[in-house]
Amino acid sequence: MKKVFAWVSSPTGRLLLLIVVAAMVRLYRITNPVADWHAFRQADTASVTREYIKRGVDWLRPRYQDLSNIQSGQDNLEGYRMVEFPLINGVLATLLRAIPSLPLVLTSRLATVLISLGSLWFLVDFVTKITGNKTVGWLSGLFFALLPYSVYYSRTILPEPYVIFFSLASLSCLVSALQFKRPVGQWQWWVSAVCLSVAFLLKPFVVFLAPVYAVIIWQQQSKIRYSPWWVVYGLLAVAPFLWWRYWIQQFSSGIPAADWLLNGNGIRFRPAWFRWIFYERFTKLIMGYTGIVIAATSLWYKGRGQVVLWAWWLGLITYTAVVATGNVQHDYYQVIFTPLISFTLALGTWLLWQKSIQLIYKAGVITLIAVLLVLSWQQVAGYFNVNHWEYVEAGRAVDQLTPLDAKVIAPAFGDTHFLFQTNRTGWPIGFEIDDKISQGATHYVTTSFDDEAQELESRFATVVKTDRYLILNLTQPKEKQ
């Protein structure tokens, strides 16, 4: 028993224990269908993998379920999905094609869980290196493991968890390489550049981590004399992304409109922007109110890693200002903050603990953390809920009763997660049904028996009708009475 306790108390033991705990909490409702919070974005991501499984992996021409003009303003009848480079989708699809018995959604969620555990490891390693404080490093991993917001997004089917993994891997490897007199001679230097390149391909918002890289390199001024190699590093990191953006221009129908994300509704620096970013998201959602007290304490930190901390905040606050509308309208845009907030809370906790001489004050620190987790969980708990089981039920019926090449209209006001349940390509919105039929629509499914559904039911043959959903065959018009 003493040996077990000694091992658990060791740095390696504590880290592995932390990884086990993080894995366990991330398995909560892991078997959910893609119908929980931000299901539309998860469905779009997962459907790229599914189309790869069906058609074969074409790395340069990813496709997904949505054939409508909602995303790009152009009819997208080929179903192109030209956003992030489909690296993760291609890898998962290759695995799922090799082992067809594996379920797409569960496998995709478990892959995200595994990658988030890797992110935890790199976060602990990075923070430990830049602060020289193993306790702060471990505490960073603890918050990353347990923050409810972090837990939820660490089991979703989104590119963001992978962006965190590759960016943290890049930073951690770069710090390791800079410990040597000739960094470019170390494998970590090259891995750092490649990981940063992958992060860029997944999300260009990684560019806002530039201040962190600048500070890390600046703090190792003796290494800057190898300036030509830093040009190589930059090219390795950015060139693949620039090539990808150039390549996808020929598939304009598959490129979602994105200009509105910057400041499409004019909210930048307005009171509503400050409220949503700093109160609704940081204070309330992620840090559960009391966490802001712990985070504010980190302002008094003076030591190694201080400049990196401030550079990190500078870069990501700039990100929220530049991508103002996107950050306000979608809370998953703040996923990139989770390592930084975990680091900040770790520093604040460590400082409070050091200053708390009496036991009652240490108990106060623990209470703050406990309240943080409870109140944040109250905000996040609903994210795990499936609010439209009727979509799942109707989608399964479509999958069972229609041909594999059917093209389905599944109206959900443009939300694609209903369409995703059908396992078919098609349109996530109704209206102009005859135009959609001319574009190849073969079936119509709805869970709301509205005027459109009733009018179409009078015109086309019914495949099945229950009190939960209606499926129509648009290729079989009824004879006029």
pLDDT in tens, 408-429: 999 999 999 999 999 999 999 9
Structural domain that includes position 457: 389-477
Tens digit of pLDDT for each residue in 276-319? 999 999 999 999 999 999 999 999 999 889 999 999 999 999 99
Do residues 353 and 417 both lie within one domain?
Answer: no
pLDDT score at 180: 82
Nearest one of 153, 209, 216 to 189, comparing CA atoms:
216
Domain assignment of residue 96, yes or no: yes
Contact 347, 298 (CB under 8 A): yes
Q: What is the pLDDT of residue 6?
A: 61
Tell whether 337 and 463 lie within a shared domain: no
How many domains does the chain fold into? 2
How high is the pLDDT of residue 359?
72
Is the separation of the CB atoms in 160 and 199 below 8 Å?
no
pTM of the model: 0.95
Asked if residue 24 belongs to a domain, the reply is yes
Residue 224 pLDDT grade (very low, low, confident, very high; cuts 50, 70, 90):
low
> For 423, which DSSP code?
T
| pLDDT reported for residue 269 | 96
Q: Which two tokens stand for residue 240?
A: 């693949």
Q: Based on the number of CB atoms within 10 Å of its own CB, is 322 exposed (0-12), middle (13-18) or buried (19 or more)? A: middle
Verify that 299 and 376 share a domain, yes or no: yes
Residues, the chain: 481
| Cβ-contact 201, 85 below 8 angstroms | yes
- Rounded distance, CA 242 to CA 262, Å? 20
- Of 317, 351, 383, the one marking the end of a domain is 383
**52-87 pLDDT per residue, tens:** 999 999 999 999 999 999 999 999 999 999 999 999
> Of all helices (H) and strands (E), which one includes residue 67?
none
336: nearest Cα among 353, 350, 360, 317? 317
Q: Do both 459 and 353 map to the same domain?
A: no
Q: H-type helices in 79-183, by residue range?
A: 87-98, 104-131, 134-146, 148-153, 160-177
Residue recorded with tokens 């560019």? 207
Same domain, 354 and 398: no
User: How confident is the model at residue 330, as a pLDDT?
Assistant: 95
At residue 362, the pLDDT reads 84
Nearest to 331 by CA among 77, 457, 152, 135: 152
pLDDT at 177: 92
Q: In terms of domains, do 127 and 216 share one?
A: yes
Q: What is the mean pLDDT of residues 130-158?
A: 97
Q: Read out DSSP for 221-238?
A: GGGGGGHHHHHHHHHHHH
Please give the pLDDT value at position 10.
Answer: 76
Last residue of a domain, one of 383, 409, 437: 383
Q: Is residue 254 part of a domain?
A: yes
Q: Out of 383, 412, 442, pick the residue that ends a domain.
A: 383
Nearby residues of 306 by Cβ (< 8 Å), 6 or more positions away: none
- Can you give the pLDDT at residue 478? 84
| pLDDT score at 225 | 60
Question: Does position 4 have pLDDT exceeding 70, yes or no?
Answer: no
* pLDDT tens, residue by residue, 12-57: 888 999 999 999 999 999 999 999 999 999 999 999 999 999 999 9
Q: Judge whether residue 480 has pLDDT over 70.
A: no
Q: How confident is the model at residue 104 (pLDDT cuts 50, 70, 90)?
A: very high
Please indicate, yes or no, if residue 70 is contained in any of the structural domains.
yes
CA angle 172, 174, 176 (to 5 degrees): 70
User: Residues 228, 246: one domain?
Assistant: yes
Q: Residue 177 domain-assigned?
A: yes
Is residue 337 in some structural domain?
yes
Let me know if residue 142 belongs to a domain.
Answer: yes
Does pLDDT of 1 surpass 80? no
Q: What percent of the chain has pLDDT over 90?
A: 87
- 189 plus 289 within the same structural domain: yes
Could you give the CA distance from residue 411 to residue 34 in angstroms, rounded to a whole number?
17
Residue range 371-407, pLDDT digits in tens: 999 999 999 999 999 999 999 999 999 999 999 999 9
Check whether residue 207 and residue 290 sit in a common domain.
yes
User: Do both 58 and 187 map to the same domain?
Assistant: yes
Q: What is the mean pLDDT of residues 166-176?
A: 97
Is position 1 within any domain? no
* Res. 247: pLDDT tops 90: yes
Note the pLDDT of residue 479. 76
Are 357 and 210 contained in the same domain? Answer: yes
User: Please, which residues bridge with residue 447 across strands?
Assistant: none
User: Both 332 and 432 in a single domain?
Assistant: no
Question: What pLDDT shows up at residue 371?
Answer: 97
Task: Give the integer Cα–Cα distance in Å for 333 and 321.
Answer: 12
Q: How confident is the model at residue 361 (pLDDT cuts 50, 70, 90)?
A: confident
